[in-house]
Amino acid sequence: MRAGTKQGRSKQAGTKQGQTRRATKTGSGKAARSRQGNWRNLTTLAIDIGGSGLKMMALDSQGHSVSERLRVPTPHPASPGKMLAILDEMKAQMPAFDRVSVGFPGVIKQGETLTAANLDKSWVGFPLEQTLEQKWGKPVRVCNDAAVQGYGAIRGRGVELVLTLGTGVGSALYTDGRLCPGLELAHHPWRKGKTYEELIGRAALDKIGHKKWNRLVERAIAQTEALFNWDHLYIGGGNSRKLEIEPRPEVTLIENEQGLTGGIALWQIAN
């Protein structure tokens, strides 16, 4: 039986609330430029960088889409040069925008990508925020991709955990809507010396098969509940569609699109 498919894949009240939560400041501080004029009318270009795909969509000031969602496969090797060139091409298909939000699969500090386990190693220490600001002439904020998706889903009450199951395993933890930055559960040792990503990432799914992978995901859910004592768990990522676990009211499947719409929250702190 699929876990909470109707509940998780419908647009729920928590989504709208999650989009308006204040985000931890992640960038170089140039976001203050977004205050110029009436910020309520600003358009945000939202980008979701993943190990298998690059996604882009324009959002209004409330986080609603004002363009089609574009998706382009991630190039290999997934180097900064190749990926930025693709983002340039995608941007040309978007309407005019005032600022940029980026979700990136790794640890982000001061706008730099400190880790990139499922991309090219040349991303480590790359000044993504500064580079995009210089290329596009717009203020940019960069945050971990799981955290951005979480901002598009959380209710902002109690302890909430987000897990994304895709090429790798993403994670984000919130208390009363505030992000606890830097969590990388994927690379934490879990069972028999292997990490969560090694056991429930895409490579593991392909290797061990659907049935065994589902059992391991259920065990991972139980482990995170014991570790964080979360009040609500949100599960996203492309492989969340393959979950067949017992439905629970405190576990919700979330849409991949929230990895884009959650980007509006990165700018709430600037207002």
What's the rounded Cα separation, in Å, for the pair 256 and 260?
8
Using pLDDT thresholds of 50, 70 and 90, give the confidence band for residue 5: very low
Domain ranges of the chain: 12-148+265-270, 156-258
pLDDT tens-digit map of 188-231: 999 999 999 999 999 999 999 999 999 999 999 999 999 999 99
Using pLDDT thresholds of 50, 70 and 90, give the confidence band for residue 8: very low
CB atoms within 10 A of CB 111: 23
What angle do helix axes 128-136 and 80-91 make, rounded to 10 degrees? 40
Identify the weakest region by mean pLDDT among 25-29, 121-125, 242-246: 25-29
Average pLDDT over residues 108-133: 96
- Same fold across 12-148+265-270 and 156-258: yes
Q: What is the pLDDT of residue 20?
A: 30
Q: What is the pLDDT of residue 124?
A: 96
pLDDT tens-digit map of 39-83: 568 999 999 999 999 999 999 999 999 999 999 999 999 999 999
pLDDT of residue 245 exceeding 90? no
Write out the two tokens for 19: 């989009």
- Give me the CATH code for the 12-148+265-270 domain, please: 3.30.420.40
Q: Domain 156-258 adopts which CATH fold?
A: Nucleotidyltransferase; domain 5 (3.30.420)
Peptide bond into 105 cis (omega under 30): no
Average pLDDT over residues 91-97: 97
Mean residue pLDDT of the chain comes to 87
pLDDT of residue 27 exceeding 70? no
- Annotate 147-189 with three-state secondary structure: HHHHHCCCCCCCEEEEEEECCCEEEEEEECCEEECCCCHHHCE
